[in-house]
Amino acid sequence: MVRECRGGRVYVVGAGPGDPELITVKGLRLIQQADVIVYDRLVAKELLDYAKPGAELIYAGKKPGAHTMTQEEINQLLLEKACEGKKVVRLHGGDPYVFGRGEEECIYLREHGVECEVVPGLTSAIAGAAYAGIPVTSRGIASSFAVATGREAPDKDRKMVHYGKIMKTVDTLVVVMGVGNLENIVREMLEEGVDPDLPVAIVEKATTPEQRVVAGRLRDIVEKARRAGVQPPALIIFGHTVELRDKLWRLS
C-alpha cells in the first residue's frame, strides 16, 4: 500500500559509541528538533534528555535472541510516524550503517516515498578501540583494518566471514557481536595458521564509565575472557596495535 506522506522526514542518526559527548553536532541538533525519536539499546540514554518537551520517545532495542520489535515493525513505525508529518530521528548506537541496518530503513522509507537522510556516527569499532588505547592503524605496525560481525544472520545458508582468511589479509581486525562466538573465531584463526602470539584485546562497554579491557594473545584469550566473565557489548580486537595500549590507554 502506497500512502501519501506529507512533510514527514526521517533522519537515520548515529549516536556514537557510548559516551554521549561523542555524538555529532548535527545528530544532537536533530535530536533537539525531533517530534519522534526511535532509539536503540546501545544509545547513550543521556542523549534523550535533549529531546524537546512533548517529543515521543520509542524504544526499539533488540537483545540477542529477544526482539523487542522486529526490523519490519521498526520500518513500519518509522513510515507511519513520517506519514503523520512528523520529524523522526531513528537513533542508532555507533554508526547506522555499520551493522546497524540503518540502510535497510532508509531504503524501505524511500521505496515508500518518504525522505530519509543518514547522519553518520562514530562507530564503536574504531572509537571504542581508541578509548581503550588501541588505534586501528599505526605507521609501521598496521596499514589496514577490517570490521566483521562475530555472529552471522541465522537465516544465511552460506558462511560469509572467514576470520582466519581475514586475519591473514589485514593487520587489524575488529569483531563486533562476537563475545558468544569467541571460541570458534579463535579456533578458525589458529586452524588457518594465524600466529598464536597475535595480541588480542576485548573492550567491554567502550567509552562508558564501565569500560573494561581484557587483553591477551590468540592462544590464551578464550580462557582469559572466560575467567573475566566478559559480557556484551564488547569489541574483540586482533592485531599488533593492541600492544600500543600500554602507551595510549586513557586515564579516566
Give the interface with ligand SAH as residue ranges (CB under 6 A).
Answer: 17-18, 42, 92-95, 98-100, 123-125, 128, 176-177, 203, 205-208, 232-235
DSSP of 200-222: EEEEESTTSTT-EEEEEETTTHH
Q: How far is the CB of 7 from ligand SAH (least distance, A)?
A: 29
DSSP label at 51?
Answer: S
Is 220 designated active site? no
Residue number closest to ligand SAH, CB atom: 94
Catalytic residue among 62, 69, 220, 224: 62
- Count CB-CB contacts under 10 A for residue 173: 25
Is 177 designated active site? yes
Nearer to ligand SAH, 31 or 234 (CB): 234
Q: How far is the CB of 205 from ligand SAH (least distance, A)?
A: 5
Nearer to ligand SAH, 113 or 232 (CB): 232
Exposed e or buried b per residue across 65-74, where buried means at least 16 C-beta atoms within 10 angstroms of its C-beta: eeeebeeeeb
Q: How far is the CB of 187 from ligand SAH (least distance, A)?
A: 19
CA dihedral 126, 128, 131, 135 (to 10 degrees): -30
Catalytic residue among 35, 81, 87, 177: 177
Question: Residue 165's closest CA among 221, 238, 215, 244?
Answer: 238
State the catalytic residues.
40, 62, 177
